[in-house]
Chains A and B, each alone.
Chain A
Amino acid sequence: MITEKTITDFIYREADLLDTMQWQAWLDLFHPEGRYWMPLEWQQQDPVLQPSLMYEDLLLLKVRVERLAGERTFSQKPKSRCHHLLQAPQIVACDPAAGMFKARTSYIYTETRGDVLERFSGWASHDFVQVGDGLKIKLKRVDLVNFDAPFGNIQLFM
């Protein structure tokens, strides 16, 4: 039975997998049709015909993860690390009958590489599907408060 706690635990575990760089376990959280989306507009509706910072399916996410460990991935020498500080997730929907599971989580994200440390703030919205007696990510949407600012490289996942 999927409960609100199932959703909350999932979100904390996801952040933990990212912070501990367990990329493969992180990828396994996604449904095969899952997407990771970072909009470039305020309250953006369309990931395809409006510009986004990222809109990646599982194939593209795998490319990113595999690239992080690549022998010739020069932008990862030295390697980046990250840290998620999450507020308690807000459960937007938890309706097993309708198969609706959604949450929104406010966060502060830190990415560091070498001597440089960058901080970002935003909201992560999760849409889940039930698979067996667990959840998989159908959509992880990452809205930065300053999505329109000119950033340097953002190399890991928020």
Chain B
Amino acid sequence: MDRYRNNAFAIDALVRDTEVHRDVYVDPEIFELEMEHLFPNSWIYIGHASQLAKPGDFITANIGRQPVLASRHTDGSIHAFYNRCPHKGVKIASEACGNTGKFFRCPYHAWSFKTDGSLLAIPLKKGYEGTGFGNAQANEGLSRIRNVVVHRDFIFAQLNDNGVSFEDYFGESLSTIDNMVDRSPEGKLAVVAAPIRYMHTCNWKMLVENQTDTCHPMVAHESSAGTAVKVWKREQSDSTETPMAVQLYGPFMSPYEFYEQSGIRIWPNGHGHTGVANSIHSNYSDIEGYLGQMVAAYGETRAHEILGEVRHNTVYFPNIMVKGAVQILRNFIPIAVDKTLVESWVYRLVGAPDKLYERALMYNRFINAPTSIVGHDDLEMYERAQEGLKSNGNQWVNLQRLYEAGEQADVTAVINGTSERQMRNQFHAWAKFMTLDMDKRVEAAE
């Protein structure tokens, strides 16, 4: 029995001011509707332009359940398509990335397509003469995704042609991506390696929420970060320098007061970030030569302004998190209601010392890997939540911390860093983009 399909009212009712119903995490029908509505209605990150360096380079991704493909055309432009052949639907590109040469060729009957998606050739073309093929959708080649925006090399796509514009969707929140790019003395990032991949047996939203959950690190990560600090204190003997590893682990153990005053900023449409005043990334030691390069590139004032932004986690609703200070993007890719693939990408700051890339890679394997002890702490909690939510004793998840009556949705604000308001912000956006293209007349009939 469908309880939620074609029922915007029922979906809206899952999100209250201070609580969300467990069905948002555990109900397979809700998950299907997220794939059909939430993801196509949102702007989704599909890759970085540096992965499409040369003409013919391509990357593949999924938006919701739909396979998509982006490529670099001979004239340098970037195009995105649905990844299916217009003939009988075969997936055109099956690898995560590659170079297709001058054209895509379907492996089934060899229809071929230019790298802008247009139909190049069909074998035995005569067989289509007089069939009216000129008017068939197949004659247009690969179905194009019309809404593609490349913002400072970050490629976003939106499948719904009647959705919110890119500018309206992200607004000021793009400042985190801008800051991450500006950290390169050349204003350029590059993907030079594959991501770390990590499978989570939990709902994708648990990971997204966790990015701005500042009341868990000192508790859940006592086992990893806490042990790292303890072992270092014992073993450091006469060493004066804190190793990079300990600098990365240590701040996770900061007390509540630290997170309270570091602050959270929320933006409309579910975006927001932790680490406004300072963050766990604030006190990494300087990397030799880097500040000099930044000052030479941007001038003294601007260089300090760029490096002074130490935002911790920025959530771009629905499913990515960007960490500017260590050049990481985590993509939370929904697979099933209780299964999420995490891909953690590290960007190289073009023109910056190697040491920065080394630190970013180290952070990524310390925190975001299946072999990361910090990651083990978090995943254990998500899995226990996925289990615990089966309980009927209480069907609501509480997100009430620092709630104020009359809280405005879709606003920009800076708040106490231990607030759960960013999670409330996300769920407001969740209900909005879930139901954006649903027939709301049903609601009137209720």
| Residue positions of A touching B, CB distance < 8 A | 38, 40-41, 48-55, 57, 59-60, 62-64, 66-67, 70, 72-76, 148-155
Residues of B contacting A38 in the complex (Cβ-Cβ under 8 angstroms): 371
Residues of A contacting B262 in the complex (Cβ-Cβ under 8 angstroms): none
Nearest CB in chain B: distance from A140 CB, A: 14
Which of B196, B223, B245, B342 is within 8 Å of A75, CB to CB?
A: B223
Nearest 5 interchain pairs by C-beta: A150-B197, A151-B370, A75-B380, A73-B223, A150-B199
The residues in B between 366 and 381 inclusive whose CB is less than 8 angstroms from any CB of A are 369-371, 373, 375-377, 379-381
Pairwise interchain contact B377-A75, C-beta atoms closer than 8 A: yes
Q: Does B32 contact A (CB under 8 A)?
A: no
Q: In the bound complex, what is the Cα–Cα distance between A152 and B369 (angstroms)?
A: 9
Q: In the bound complex, what is the Cα–Cα distance between A73 and B195 (angstroms)?
A: 27
Q: Does B228 contact A (CB under 8 A)?
A: yes
Pairwise interchain contact B370-A153, C-beta atoms closer than 8 A: yes
Pairwise interchain contact B358-A49, C-beta atoms closer than 8 A: yes
Q: Which of A53, A57, A72, A150 has the most CB atoms of chain B within a 10 A radius of its CB?
A: A150
The residues in B between 329 and 352 inclusive whose CB is less than 8 angstroms from any CB of A are 341-342, 346
Residues of A contacting B220 in the complex (Cβ-Cβ under 8 angstroms): 74
Q: In the bound complex, what is the Cα–Cα distance between A40 and B270 (angstroms)?
A: 33
Pairwise interchain contact B354-A59, C-beta atoms closer than 8 A: no
Residue pairs across A and B with Cβ atoms less than 8 A apart, 7 shown, are A48-B361, A52-B361, A62-B235, A72-B226, A75-B380, A148-B197, A153-B376
Residues of B contacting A153 in the complex (Cβ-Cβ under 8 angstroms): 370, 375-376, 379-380
Interface 0/1 of B209-252, CB less than 8 Å to A: 00000000000101110111011100100000001011001000
Interface 0/1 of B192-214, CB less than 8 Å to A: 01111111110000000000000
Pairwise interchain contact B231-A63, C-beta atoms closer than 8 A: yes
Interface 0/1 of B163-206, CB less than 8 Å to A: 00000000000000000000000000000011111111100000
Residues of B contacting A54 in the complex (Cβ-Cβ under 8 angstroms): 365, 369, 371
Pairwise interchain contact B194-A51, C-beta atoms closer than 8 A: yes
Q: Give the nearest-CB partner of A38 in chain B.
A: B371
Q: Which of A41, A57, A70 has the most CB atoms of chain B within a 10 A radius of its CB?
A: A70
Pairwise interchain contact B193-A51, C-beta atoms closer than 8 A: yes
Q: In the bound complex, what is the Cα–Cα distance between A76 and B227 (angstroms)?
A: 14
Q: In the bound complex, what is the Cα–Cα distance between A147 and B8 (angstroms)?
A: 43
Which of B193, B197, B370 is within 8 Å of A41, CB to CB?
A: B193
Q: Give the nearest-CB partner of B354 in chain A.
A: A49
Nearest CB in chain A: distance from B439 CB, A: 37
| Residue positions of B touching A, CB distance < 8 A | 193-201, 220, 222-224, 226-228, 230-232, 235, 243, 245-246, 249, 341-342, 346, 354, 357-358, 361-362, 364-365, 369-371, 373, 375-377, 379-381, 384
Q: In the bound complex, what is the Cα–Cα distance between A127 and B35 (angstroms)?
A: 49
Nearest CB in chain B: distance from A74 CB, A: 5
Residues of A contacting B195 in the complex (Cβ-Cβ under 8 angstroms): 51
Residues of B contacting A41 in the complex (Cβ-Cβ under 8 angstroms): 193-194
Q: In the bound complex, what is the Cα–Cα distance between A63 and B225 (angstroms)?
A: 9
- Check A152/B357 contact, CB under 8 A, given A41-B194, A51-B365, A52-B365: no
Residues of B contacting A59 in the complex (Cβ-Cβ under 8 angstroms): 231-232, 235, 243, 245-246
Pairwise interchain contact B371-A154, C-beta atoms closer than 8 A: yes
- Check A149/B197 contact, CB under 8 A, given A74-B223, A154-B371: yes
Which of A49, A63, A64, A72 is within 8 Å of B361, CB to CB?
A: A49
Which of A50, A67, A151 is within 8 Å of B198, CB to CB?
A: A151
- Check A151/B199 contact, CB under 8 A, given A52-B361, A55-B365, A62-B235: yes
Besides A53-B365, A151-B198, 9 more A-B contacts (Cβ < 8 Å) are A40-B193, A59-B243, A60-B245, A67-B227, A72-B226, A76-B223, A151-B199, A151-B370, A154-B371
Pairwise interchain contact B227-A66, C-beta atoms closer than 8 A: yes
Q: In the bound complex, what is the Cα–Cα distance between A75 and B200 (angstroms)?
A: 14
Q: In the bound complex, what is the Cα–Cα distance between A141 and B226 (angstroms)?
A: 27
Q: Give the nearest-CB partner of B380 in chain A.
A: A75
Nearest CB in chain A: distance from B34 CB, A: 20
Q: In the bound complex, what is the Cα–Cα distance between A58 and B193 (angstroms)?
A: 27
Residues of A contacting B227 in the complex (Cβ-Cβ under 8 angstroms): 63, 66-67, 70
Nearest CB in chain A: distance from B380 CB, A: 4
Nearest CB in chain B: distance from A128 CB, A: 23
Nearest CB in chain A: distance from B229 CB, A: 9
Pairwise interchain contact B373-A49, C-beta atoms closer than 8 A: no
Pairwise interchain contact B196-A40, C-beta atoms closer than 8 A: yes
Pairwise interchain contact A152-B199, C-beta atoms closer than 8 A: yes
Nearest CB in chain A: distance from B93 CB, A: 17
Q: Which of B243, B346, B358, B380 has the most CB atoms of chain A within a 10 A radius of its CB?
A: B380
Q: In the bound complex, what is the Cα–Cα distance between A73 and B225 (angstroms)?
A: 11
Q: In the bound complex, what is the Cα–Cα distance between A66 and B234 (angstroms)?
A: 12
Nearest CB in chain B: distance from A33 CB, A: 14
Nearest CB in chain B: distance from A12 CB, A: 24
Q: Give the nearest-CB partner of B219 in chain A.
A: A72
Q: In the bound complex, what is the Cα–Cα distance between A154 and B373 (angstroms)?
A: 9
Q: In the bound complex, what is the Cα–Cα distance between A75 and B231 (angstroms)?
A: 19
